[in-house]
Amino acid sequence: MQESTSQNDLRSAWYDFCDRLKDGAAIVLDPDRPMDDVDRAEGIRALLRRLASDTSRVLEGGDHEHPQLAWFHPFKNGQDNPDGLYQAAEIDLSRTYRLSGTVGTVCYLGITAMTTNFAERGIEQFLTLNGSDLPTDADGRFEVVFGAGPSPAGVADASWFELPPEHCTLIIRQFFSDWASEIPADLHLECVNPEPGTSRMTGESMIRHLATAADQVLDMTAFWADFGNAHVARAEVNSFDHVQAAQGSTSNLGGSVDQGYGQTWYRIADDEALLLEVEIPDCVYWGIQLGDVWYQSLDWWDHQSSLNGHQAVVSADGVFRAVVAHQDPGTANWLDTTGSTQGCITYRWNQADRQPVPTCTLMPVASIAEHFDDRWAPINREQRSVVLRDRRRAALRRFRR
């Protein structure tokens, strides 16, 4: 039986999608990218993660009129925060939306409506709300309404936000300091004036999705790989000397406007370690983490590749002292590379009174002990085992895994 025109179009769109996805090998296996075989395998994994994320968010996350706040595990993109629970929904701001629920007890709740397509244009943020500024009642419940307007009847001025009629993504960031006990926000997103929903996807809709899905996956993977390579090209390696003390947020890259960020590249041989020191500012939340060459966070549920203000040991003089190394150096503030010889280091100061810049010292592993004193918070193997066991349990609790 001969295929119909629509069948031919759908087949052609699928073949084009698969062919475009194959081009990811040119990014991941590019010999001009200095990386090892494990890094390249992780690059293929990055492509698959982004494809899964895109499928979950766009195909399975409702539509503009019936959105769902999908969450991702793992959300490995753009040096994702190990302390974070990220949720997202596609929205069309020519319509009106209501976000309601409870704020929970997480140390930071951020709500952002923004564009996310790096390839087409720069990131634009249309709405940025801090959980502490939400109009909550005595039970911690809130409701905000936003869109191009007009405001629906009965909505208080403090709860209404008029925005440009753009297609964008609503992103929710929840940051946990105490992974084991903090309660996440319980949120619900709805379109105020939806048309009747449809459960089945038309051929035309699928063709439109396939036309851009692979590009999104490849473009995002290439963008963050190039972003990391730029550190190396600028000689920003094993040092934060290039970072200004008042650098501020990276909102043009989708970063939170409440945060100051600092980033550099690390490159550490098997017999080397990087000593990092920084005086902690007065802030709502802070964290520091390691990422790989694809700008993905390293494994943070089975390894201590990140630390935050609740988990870290800060000396009596207010200084955080950590060791970035492949093997356990015997100090509480070990940032485990998980075997990755190079990648990125990122710190975040959330709503801080200042933005101090860490200092770094590269040295042979054999010399570390000469620099340790009681300020470096020694830890033995048995204590480390307990820390890692509790860390894994608390990390998986966040995602009900």
The residue among 263 and 256 whose pLDDT is bigger is 263
171 and 302 assigned to the same domain: no
Q: Is residue 127, in this structure, part of any structural domain at all?
A: yes
pLDDT at 250: 56
Same domain for 302 and 210: no
What's the mean per-residue pLDDT of the chain?
91
Residue 228 lies in a domain: no
Q: What is the pLDDT of residues 167-208, one digit of tens each?
A: 999 999 999 999 999 999 999 999 998 888 777 888 998 999
Q: What is the DSSP string of 98-130?
A: EEEEE-TT-SEEEEEEE---TTTS---EEEEEE
Same domain, yes or no, for 321 and 286?
A: yes
| Cα–Cα dist 223/78, whole Å | 9
Task: Give per-residue pLDDT as tens, 30-62.
Answer: 998 889 999 999 999 999 999 998 888 888 878
**What per-residue confidence (pLDDT) applies to 254?**
54
Does the residue 241 lie in any domain? yes
Provide the pLDDT for residue 299: 97
pLDDT at 58: 81
Beta strands in 223-365 (DSSP E): 259-267, 272-279, 285-291, 306-308, 319-325, 334-336, 342-350, 359-364
Within a domain: 21: yes
**Strand (E) positions, 37-185?**
70-71, 84-92, 96-102, 108-114, 125-130, 141-147, 160-162, 167-175
CA 356 → CA 80, 235, 343, 377, distances in Å?
21, 21, 22, 22
CA atoms within 13 A on the CB side of 110: 24
Domain boundary pick from 174, 194, 222: 222
Looking at the fold, whether 118 and 21 belong to one and the same domain comes out as: yes
The model's confidence at residue 253, banded by pLDDT at 50, 70 and 90, is low
> In the predicted model, what is the mean pLDDT of residues 129-135?
90
Structurally, the chain folds into a number of domains equal to 2
pLDDT band at 154 (very low <50, low <70, confident <90, very high): confident
User: Are residue 288 and residue 204 in the same domain, yes or no?
Assistant: no
Q: Which of residues 222, 255, 275 is at a domain's end?
A: 222
How far is the first Cα of the chain from the last one, in angstroms, to the nearest whole number? 47
Percent of the chain with pLDDT over 70: 95
Q: Residue 229 falls within a domain, yes or no? A: no
Residue 121 has pLDDT above 70, yes or no: no
pTM of the model: 0.91
pLDDT (0 to 100) of residue 196: 82
Does residue 216 share a domain with residue 301?
no
- Range in 195-199, 207-211, 315-319, 352-356 with the lowest mean pLDDT: 195-199
Q: What is the pLDDT of residue 256?
A: 72
**Quick check: 182 and 105 in contact, CB under 8 A?**
yes
- 228 has pLDDT over 80: yes
For residue 123, name the pLDDT band (cuts at 50, 70, 90). confident
Residue type, 362: L
What is the percentage of the chain residues whose pLDDT exceeds 90?
75
Specify if 180 maps to a domain. yes
- Answer whether residue 230 is part of any domain: no
Domain ends where: 194, 222, 250?
Answer: 222
Range(s) of the domain holding residue 389: 235-398
Give mean pLDDT, residues 60-78: 85
Beta bridge partners of 193: none
Instruction: Look at residue 374 and give its three-state secondary structure.
Output: helix
